[in-house]
A = this chain, B = another copy of it.
Amino acid sequence: MAKKYTTREEDYSKWYNEIVSRADLAENSEVRGCMVIKPYGYAIWERMKEVLDKKFKETGHSNAYFPIFIPKSLFEAEEKNAEGFAKECAVVTHHRLIDDPNNKGKLIVDPKAKLEEELIVRPTSEAIIWSTYKKWVQSYRDLPILINQWANVVRWEMRTRIFLRTAEFLWQEGHTAHATKQEALDEAAQMNQVYAEFAEKFMAMPVVQGLKSESERFAGADETYCIEAMMQDGKALQAGTSHFLGQNFSKAFDVKFATKDGKQEHVWATSWGVSTRLMGALIMTHSDDDGLVLPPEIAPIQVAAIPIYKTDEELEQITVLMKELELKFKAKGISFKYDDDDNRRPGWKFAEYESKGVPVRLAMGPRDLESGKIEVARRDNKTKEIQDFEGVVDYVENLLKDIQNNLYNRALEFRTNNTQEVDSYDDFKVKIKSDGGFFLAHWDGTSETEELIKQQTKATIRCIPLDRKQEEGKCMVTGKKSEGRVIFAKAY
């Protein structure tokens, strides 16, 4: 019998780490704060990339690649706009190692190989990209520029957690340039919508689309769209952001274009990104006390099949049938793994695929052979049933859709059950401790009030929902006028 997981109830954070480790998703490396993404975890990320990349291309974007290093001086130009931007970053100061003359077999940094100007490992690429766009843009004919980049970035985080906050992480960053303000605003909204659809349709993760308050906004942005999801401990997780950057970067890097009328104007900009943080969101949305649970649309293995046998002859008979299934699943584009590894026992395999969140697990033994049956187990609700072998492929195809819907609905129900309106600040202070979840409350729109609430409760404004009801109300703290409720929560 496989070792039990720590339950969410017992220790949520330990539970998370155990899922990551036992599903073979990732592990800490020998470099502080940097993770190794293992093949199974990477396969999930690859699937996310595939779906998103297709969507980016359908909406007119192309991929490109910009340097990993940003000269310090470009960082300074950006700083003017983005004073709040983190300066915790990896700084390259030298370009050579030499043998240590005093210690054989050891290496030291060559003091003669000091760089004239330090290079920063990119924490995000606005600076290097906008200094490049300056060369690309002369006239309205050169616009829009619709570029995305898949890349690694580094932010020197003090407290790290696999997928959720790591020094190095993988992401995509879109950087677009437009002739008009409206076009840039539309682009930012469109890409947030792309993220929301991806989260809901593929990750089966309900999200709230909204705008960030000024203090939660990206420092270089005039407006930040976001998608916010609720994790099973009731905390919010920001799963993606899309920024309307106004003319901040085009002014910092002096990027102008000639309009049709021959006037010189600054370009309008957006940037938008999601990262390997989505892996953390995926884990914490669906997994249970028996391990990872994956929605079929994102699962690298959608169906795993295990033979149960004593004799070689039994194995052979089962294998013939399984190979038949394999072809049929393949024809339907369903990923199927027949695991006939003789080094592992069926019980071990059952536990393994459960830990790895494989949506459907099949099993077939000698009795099933005789009766023309097969066992079908679903990971989401842990039910099992015996099905006719004949027609099982169609059955599983429908079951996968069912599981996808069920996971979404379950998460949505959880969010609904853990979202409440609150009108009194006293109430709020009690409930944010006792209940967790999302709180819909009126707020007077000032950073001061927001900061006060954060200081006193650790809750922040996650977003101003795009689809919120317009209702007159009074700020729960100051009693000043408010036009609608915003979402408060503790957050990752």
Interface residues of A (CB under 8 A from B): 27, 29-31, 34-39, 42-43, 45-46, 62-72, 74-76, 79-80, 87-98, 105-107, 109, 118-121, 128, 131-132, 135, 141, 147, 151-152, 154, 156, 168, 170, 343
CB of B109 within 8 A of CB of A93, answer yes
The oligomer's copy count stands at 2
Residue of B nearest to A146 (CB): B39
Complex CA distance for A54 and B129, rounded to whole angstroms: 31
CB-CB nearest in chain B for A150: B150
- Chain B residues near A151 (CB, 8 Å)? 152
- List, in ascending order, chain B residues with CB within 8 A of A35's CB: 67
Among B38, B70, B141, contact of A343 (Cβ-Cβ < 8 Å): B141
**Interchain CA distance A118-B96 in the complex, whole Å:** 12
Closest to A119 in B: B31
Residues in B with CB closer than 8 Å to A62 are 39, 42-43
- Our pick among B74, B147, B156 for the contact of A95 (Cβ within 8 Å) is B156
Q: A97-B120, A152-B152 are in contact. List 17 more A-B contacts (CB 8 A).
A: A31-B69, A31-B128, A34-B68, A43-B63, A46-B63, A68-B121, A68-B152, A68-B154, A69-B90, A72-B97, A88-B96, A90-B119, A91-B92, A91-B95, A91-B96, A92-B93, A151-B152
Q: In whole angstroms, how far apart are the Cα atoms of A68 and B89 in the complex?
A: 14
Known A-B contacts A95-B88, A96-B88, A97-B87; A67 and B128 likewise in contact (beta carbons under 8 Å) = no
**Cβ–Cβ < 8 Å partners of A39 in chain B:** 62-64, 147
Cα–Cα distance between A290 and B96 once the two chains are bound (Å): 41
**Do A97 and B91 touch (CB < 8 A)?**
yes
The reply to whether B105 and A76 form a contact with Cβ atoms under 8 Å apart is yes
4 residue pairs, one from A and one from B, having the closest CB atoms: A39-B62, A34-B67, A37-B65, A95-B156
Q: Are A168 and B69 in contact (CB under 8 A)?
A: yes
**A31 is contacted by which of B38, B67, B107, B154 (Cβ under 8 Å)?**
B67
Q: A91–B90 contact, CB under 8 A?
A: no
Taking the nearest CB of chain B, how far is it from the CB of A24, in angstroms?
10
Partner of A98, one of B64, B87, B106, B109: B87
Among A35, A68, A75, A170: residue with most chain B CB under 10 A: A68
Q: How far is the CA of A92 from the CA of B34 in the complex (A)?
A: 14
CA distance A119 to B34 in the complex (A): 12
Q: In whole angstroms, how far apart are the Cα atoms of A152 and B72 in the complex?
A: 21
In angstroms, how far is the closest chain B Cβ from the Cβ of A112?
Answer: 12
Q: Closest approach, in angstroms, between the C-beta of A202 and any C-beta of chain B? A: 19
Q: Which of A29, A37, A109 has most B Cβ within 10 Å?
A: A29
A71 contacts B31, CB within 8 Å? yes
Which residue in chain B gives the minimum CB-CB distance to A152?
B68
B97 x A109 contact (CB < 8 A): no
A120: B residues at CB distance < 8 A? 97
Report which residue of A80, A92, A94, A152 has the largest number of chain B beta carbons within 10 angstroms of its beta carbon: A92
* Contact across chains for B93 and A94 when beta carbons are under 8 A apart: yes
Q: Distance in Å from the Cβ of A108 to the closest Cβ of chain B? A: 9
Q: How far is the CA of A106 from the CA of B75 in the complex (A)?
A: 9
Question: Can you report 14 residue pairs joining A to B where beta carbons are below 8 Å apart?
Answer: A29-B67, A31-B69, A31-B128, A34-B68, A37-B64, A43-B62, A46-B63, A75-B107, A76-B106, A79-B107, A87-B98, A87-B107, A91-B93, A121-B121
Residues of B within 8 A of A37 (CB): 64-65
Closest Cβ of chain B to A441, distance in Å, is 37
B residues less than 8 Å from A131 (CB atoms): 30
The answer to whether A67 touches B168 (Cβ under 8 A) is yes
* Residues of chain B within 8 A of A36, CB atoms compared: 64-67, 132
In the docked arrangement, what's the CA distance between A43 and B154, Å?
25
Q: Which residue of B lies closest to A80 (CB)?
A: B105
- Rounded to whole angstroms, the CA-CA distance of A65 and B42 in the bound complex is 7
Flag if B93 contacts A89 (CB, 8 Å): no
Complex CA distance for A66 and B95, rounded to whole angstroms: 22
Give Cα A16–Cα B13 distance, bound, in whole angstroms: 55
The answer to whether A94 touches B97, judged by C-beta atoms less than 8 angstroms apart, is no
Q: Which residue of B lies closest to A63 (CB)?
A: B42
Residues of B within 8 A of A27 (CB): 135
A139 CB, nearest partner CB in chain B, Å = 9
Instruction: Assess whether A29 is in contact with B66, with CB atoms less than 8 Å apart.
Output: yes
Contact indicator A118/B128 (Cβ below 8 Å): no
- Residues of B contacting A92 with CB < 8 Å? 90-93, 121
Residue of B nearest to A29 (CB): B67
